[in-house]
Amino acid sequence: MIQNKKRALLLGASSLVMIMTIMATFFVVQARGAHAVARSTGVTREISSAGTSSFASAPAGTGVLQRPEFAGQSGSNSGPAPFKGSIVNRSHSHRAGKGESVNGDKTAQSNPELITSFDGLNHRNQRLANGGNQFSLEPPDQGLCVGNGFVMEVINDVLRVYDTSGNPLTGVTDLNTFFGYAAQFNRTTGLQGPFVTDPSCYFDKPTQRWFMDVLTLEVDPVSGNFLGPNHLDLAVSQTANPSGLFNIYRLPVQDDGTLGTPDHKCDGPTPGSTGPCLGDYPHIGADANGFYVTTNEYGLFAPGLGFHAAQIYAFSKSALASGEASVAVTQFDTIGAVNGNPGFTVWPATTPGDQYADNRDGTEYFLSSDAAAEANGTGISSDLIVWAFTNTQSLNTAHPDLSLSNTVLTVNPYAIPPQSNQKAGDFPLGQCLNHKPCSTFLIGARDPFHEVESPLDSNDTRMQQVVYANGEIWGALDTALTVNGKLQAGIEWFIVNPSFSSAGVAGNVAKQGFLGRADTNLTYPAIGVSESGGGVMAFTLLGTNDYPSAAYASIDAVVGVGDIHIAAAGVGPGDGFTDYKVFGIPPGTTRPRWGDYGAAVPDGNSMWIASEYIGQTCTLAQYESAPFGSCGGTRTALANWDTRISHLSL
pLDDT at 33: 30
d(CA 348, CA 311): 11
**Cα 33-561-365 angle, rounded to 5 deg:** 45
DSSP state of 248: E
Average pLDDT of the chain to the nearest whole number: 89
Question: With 70 as the cut, is the pLDDT of residue 509 above it?
Answer: yes
DSSP state of 641: -
pLDDT at 584: 87
Share of the chain above pLDDT 90, in %: 80
pLDDT bucket at 138, cuts 50 / 70 / 90: very high
Question: With 80 as the cut, is the pLDDT of residue 94 above it?
Answer: no
Please compute the mean of the pLDDT values over residues 534-550 and round it to a whole number: 97
Question: With 50 as the cut, is the pLDDT of residue 544 above it?
Answer: yes
pLDDT bucket at 103, cuts 50 / 70 / 90: low
Residue type, 510: A
pLDDT of 12-67, one tens digit each?
Answer: 222 323 323 334 433 333 332 333 333 456 899 999 999 999 998 888 988 888 88
In the beta sheet, which residues pair with residue 541?
Answer: 522, 549
| DSSP sequence for 73-142 | ---TTSPPPPP---SSS-----S----EEE---------PEEEEEEEEEEHHHHHHHHHH----------
What burial class does residue 509 get, using C-beta atoms within 10 Å of its C-beta: 0-12 exposed, 13-18 middle, 19+ buried?
buried
pLDDT bucket at 87, cuts 50 / 70 / 90: very low
Question: With 50 as the cut, is the pLDDT of residue 70 above it?
Answer: yes
Q: Which of 3-7, 176-180, 432-436, 437-441 has the lowest mean pLDDT?
A: 3-7
Share of the chain above pLDDT 70, in %: 88
What 3-state DSSP class applies to 629?
Answer: coil
Please compute the mean of the pLDDT values over residues 133-160 and round it to a whole number: 96
pLDDT bucket at 258, cuts 50 / 70 / 90: very high
Question: With 90 as the cut, is the pLDDT of residue 483 above it?
Answer: yes
pLDDT at 97: 60
DSSP state of 353: T
Residue type, 333: D
Question: With 90 as the cut, is the pLDDT of residue 75 above it?
Answer: no
d(CA 462, CA 477): 6
Q: Which of 8-17, 32-41, 383-392, 618-627 has the lowest mean pLDDT?
A: 8-17
pLDDT at 588: 92
pLDDT at 17: 31
pLDDT at 14: 29
